Chains A and B, each alone.
Chain A
Amino acid sequence: FVGSTLALRVVAECGRSKARACELRLPHGTVATPVFMPVGTQGTMKGVTAAQLDGLGCRICLGNTYHLGTRPVSLIQKAGGCIGLLNYHSQDSGGFQMVSLLALSEVTEEGVRFHSPYDGAEILLSPEKSVEIQNALGSDIMMQLDDVVSSTLTGSRVEEAMHRSIRWLDRCISANRRPDQQNLFAIIQGGLDPVLRSKCLEEMTKRDVPGFAIGGLSGGESKEQFWKMVTLSTDHLPREKPRYLMGVGYATDLVVCVALGCDMFDCVFPTRTARFGSALVPTGNLQLKKKQFAKDFRPIDEACMCPTCQRHTRAFLHVLLHSNNTAALHHVTVHNIAYQLRLMDAIRTSIVEHRFPDFVRDFMKTMYGDVGRCPGWAVEALQSVGIPLS
């Protein structure tokens, strides 16, 4: 493709499932995949500083700097670039303004029209404008502007959105002024309709883009429909280019979707749930505000090496979470990011060491106990790629 500002090297493939471990070389460095990208704002993660993120080993994250789209581009350039991938639509972002804005937005062939949360001004986000902003921000990966519809929507709107996304992809490709420094990813749409999704895959893979995102999922759809669209997508995406599944971040979903052939993930879940005092652990999560943790002097996770677990107990976090000191939220956020990164690392190592199927079985056992309690869709999905759970 035009300019090699991205190179994907497949380091290992699982012999059975579609899982693979790769190295993704980007302008600002190399990222090992499968990778989970925390969602933040301009290289920072809610209350966690860029330095803390760095200390956790986070190499790539998502900056939802959509609001900067209301400022003159020259200003954005002065503000400096982001350290990674930029995303406009976080499918389950809720917490950030995008989803609520979509509800109030108007989509035409021109672009998406809505009001800035910043100062109320009306903005038209066209494919060209979105690329202009991302060019100014200088992130390693940029996303096309896509016509997003809810995954639970059916009918002609889904088809319209899919075709428009293809047209918008072409407009984004044309408008990209820095193809030798930034990588524009396409976003596969088509909702939950295999015919539409296949059509979208067929068309978008004709375009010479450095990577593909699988979009239009992770809304309110059932998991049964979800995994089928994921696997259909990876079946038709090129091996040598990264597959970024947007809006997925629950541990089980990550493990299954790696098995289905995805390389990159983003989700607000781990950082958002942290702000409610929920700490992620291999068996699920700990609601640290609950009374049961008042005298629990263990760390969140004995095996976790994050700064929170190295220094603090569940009991202290319980006390702090009941105060109005925001430090409590930051402690849990740091831990949850560490948990996600550690999970991906473990997944990757198991693929490299050719024991991914065993890893999956162990993971599911720890999380759910016996096979009977594993979610049906996950069992099916794993079965479909040669990893039976019983």
Chain B
Amino acid sequence: MKLNLSRVVRGCRLGTLNNLGKKGDRTMEFPGCLLYTRTGSAPHLTHDTLQVISGIPVMTQLTLSSLAEHYEILEEYKEGIGKFIGMPESVFYCSLHDPVNTCPPGYVTNKSVSVWGVGGRLEMTAAKFMTIQQALQPDWFQCLSDGEALCGEVFSAKRARKSVDRSLAFLDECLKLQEQSEVLRSCVMIGVIEGGDIREERLRSARETAKRPVGGFLLDGFHGDAMTKETKLQLMSSVTAELPEDKPRLIFGIGQPDEVLECIEAGVDLFESFFPYQVTERGCALTFSFDYQPNPEDTVLQQNGKKKEGGDNRDHIDKVTTIKCIPETAFEINLKEKKYRDDFGPLVEGCSCYCCKNHSRAYVHHLLVTNELLAGVLLMMHNFQHYFGFFCAIREALRKDRLGQLKELICKQATS
């Protein structure tokens, strides 16, 4: 794997990762995102419906939490997780946890980390963890790490220090085990940067992890609300400043468009695409614009449209209980709202996704109200395509040195 940095603009990195995959023939652009999966499959989508989406990322994210309990099946299968899940052509990154499902704290010890699958808690020592990775054979995998730096709701310096100590210990142990396995030697280990909100710990984690022969870095613990935005971004920048330029930086649990841009400015390269999935699960469609060079006419129309929607939101929101109670963001519309019942336009004007080309807001509204499975399928197709399009726009903006304009557009929508 080789990282080619084509330019760095105000801290933002633009480039490609070449020679990816088992055959070493795949290339991935960054800043970019990975394809989010749940139990080895894009949510709601089969191969056919997935392939219709434009801009599918080269790299797919698997979560160990959803697959670990099946490792014996994979050992017997022998051909690796890619073939098992029916995606033999993809390149895989296996993260420890799922950014959508938070796991209960208090289960990390000096010797083990736990993940939660369908069958319950699965405790893994470094040895067990590496055995499982050996059965999965992903291209990249996040090393076993201790991501807990909180004591209740608040960061604890003591706990943060422990998270760094443990993660480094796990890293060293896993690297040793990797040496002993031919299969695992062809996989890339991703080192994990921990340390809570303690600057010294974050720097220590970054420097120490960078000393080890890892293929890339995961910035962990920056999701959630425990840190203020300023602290978060400052820490992120300090961390990436300590990391080698020629290795990719991933971040866990960040997906909102405005936050993505902030992280890119702080030196992050790769993101997950769980955010479009969360939007889908609440019956919403991503509608935010990333067209930072529109027709002046369109801007006026867009602004008018947005104003109208803003007014209606306050009056007509249909409160439908959803399993996930994450509030809506300003980047989406809620198709369950009554006002979409007779709206025969596409989810987003000008969107070329399968849903927007074939169906209307009214139709998706109807599917949601009648609890039809197809709602999830269509929304996932749209939301993924929209999100991948956003990353494409980021790269283009960086190429043309127009990221400031894109950021302005996104921030304007974020606060509207």
The count of residues in chain B whose C-beta lies closer than 8 Å to any C-beta of chain A is: 39
A348 within 8 A of B: no
- In-complex Cβ contact of B374 among A49, A312, A319, A327 (8 A): A49
Contact B43 A319 (CB under 8 A): no
Contact A316 B85 (CB under 8 A): yes
A32 within 8 A of B: no
> How many inter-chain residue pairs (CB < 8 Å) link A and B?
101
Contact A326 B84 (CB under 8 A): no
- In-complex Cβ contact of A326 among B43, B52, B362, B370 (8 A): B43
Contact B86 A52 (CB under 8 A): no
Contact B344 A327 (CB under 8 A): no
B377 within 8 A of A: yes
Contact with B along A60-98 (1 / 0, CB 8 A): 000000010000000100110000000000000000000
Rounded to whole angstroms, the CA-CA distance of A334 and B43 in the bound complex is 16
Rounded to whole angstroms, the CA-CA distance of A297 and B84 in the bound complex is 9
A322-B118 contact given A308-B46, A330-B46, CB 8 Å threshold: yes
Contact B49 A52 (CB under 8 A): yes
Interface residues in B26-62 by Cβ distance below 8 A to A read 38-49, 52
A327-B354 contact given A75-B342, A315-B84, CB 8 Å threshold: no
A325-B41 contact given A117-B370, A307-B48, A330-B373, CB 8 Å threshold: yes
A225 within 8 A of B: no
Contact A46 B40 (CB under 8 A): no
- In-complex Cβ contact of B358 among A50, A117, A295, A313 (8 A): A50
Inter-chain contacts of A316 with B (CB < 8 A) = 40, 84-86
A149 to B: closest C-beta gap in Å? 26
Contact with A along B83-120 (1 / 0, CB 8 A): 01110000000000000000000000000000000100
A2 within 8 A of B: no
Contact with B along A101-117 (1 / 0, CB 8 A): 00000000000000001
B146 to A: closest C-beta gap in Å? 26
Contact A46 B373 (CB under 8 A): yes
A121 within 8 A of B: no
Inter-chain contacts of A390 with B (CB < 8 A) = none
Rounded to whole angstroms, the CA-CA distance of A75 and B360 in the bound complex is 13
Contact B377 A323 (CB under 8 A): no
Contact A49 B49 (CB under 8 A): yes
A219 within 8 A of B: no
A326-B373 contact given A311-B47, A316-B84, CB 8 Å threshold: yes
B267 within 8 A of A: no
B332 to A: closest C-beta gap in Å? 20
A135 within 8 A of B: no
Interface residues in B351-378 by Cβ distance below 8 A to A read 354, 358, 360, 362-363, 366-367, 369-370, 372-374, 376-378
The 9 closest A-B pairs by CB, nearest first: A323-B39, A47-B373, A311-B86, A327-B41, A325-B38, A312-B86, A46-B373, A326-B44, A330-B46
Interface residues of A (CB under 8 A from B): 41-42, 44, 46-52, 55, 67, 75, 78-79, 117-118, 275, 294-295, 297, 307-308, 311-313, 315-316, 319-320, 322-331, 334
Interface residues of B (CB under 8 A from A): 38-49, 52, 66, 70, 73, 76-77, 84-86, 118, 342, 344, 354, 358, 360, 362-363, 366-367, 369-370, 372-374, 376-378
